[in-house]
A and B are shown apart, each in its own frame.
Chain A
């Protein structure tokens, strides 16, 4: 039976079989793919460069944040101002429209009264 299974495996070597033994290949890979240590001076140097760049970046970010805060405050104030101006202007416009309507009504009433008076005089 053991011989038969060995023979079957030999006859179908390319079949994707989960039982294939890769231990020799894995040992070779383990031998070849060994971790390497980066140069210590390189690691230290890069660390220093990163630290410098990091603090500069944070400084720039803080400045950006301050500028953004100032911008948002300015835009907020401008927004409130423009809103109040628009409100004021619209109220003025409404008052103007209402007063013109009132004037027109008043004028038309006056003309009607004048016409009525004239008609009365004519009849008298």
Chain B
């Protein structure tokens, strides 16, 4: 059994996963440490608020813990399995909470306050909020793709592994997503112009 300190980035997930499935508490702790941030970020951007993100992240890891002894390696990365659990829980959450969530997401908006005119800061914040709204209006798989690409900084190949698609399919989906976002932005600008 390895000490928690013995786990480094060079220790592959597979080895730690094997130990965790054999009942090694520290190995499971290491998996948690590696993935809690990513899963939290994914859920945070899919739900739009901190409280549900924390609740659902906890549920993801509890579910993973219950099933880790039955985990079967099918050539996919462990993260894909965790993201799949998170995706299912978020889908259930959206089904149960059909009303729009309105709190929290503005906390994350990164706005350069320094040296900028307050009016300009406000304008930029509004633009970012509008963009986030547009992202949240996208189909779930496109939201997943944008979160994995921009928040998690995964490559197309990694996203393909996580989403169970080929790299080419991810590139194509990404292209279509950007096109549809741009179209939405145009429509929104046109409507604002008319008003």
Contact = CB atoms under 8 A, between A and B. Distances in A.
Interface residues of A, number: 32
Interface string B86-109: 000000000000000000000011
A28 to B, nearest CB: 6
Q: Give the contact-size bracket for chain B.
A: 35 or more
Interface string B108-132: 1110000000000000000110011
B65 A28 contact: no
Contacts of A51: 25, 28-29
Interface string A52-65: 01110110010000
Contacts of A57: 65-66
Contacts of A25: 178, 181-182, 185
Most buried by B among A20, A22, A46, A54: A54
A10 interface: no
B62 A35 contact: no
B37 A32 contact: no
Interface in A28-53: 28-39, 42-43, 46-47, 49-51, 53
B151 A35 contact: yes
A39 B104 CA distance: 14
B25 A54 contact: yes
A18 B174 CA distance: 11
Interface stretch (B7-15, B40-48, B72-80, B159-167): B40-48
Contacts of B179: 16, 20
A45 B38 CA distance: 17
B110 A34 contact: yes
A35 B154 CA distance: 12
A10 to B, nearest CB: 14
Contacts of A16: 175-176, 179
A22 B174 CA distance: 11
Contacts of A18: 175
A50 to B, nearest CB: 6
A50 B182 contact: no
A34 to B, nearest CB: 5
Contact of B65 (A31, A36, A53): A53
B40 A34 contact: no
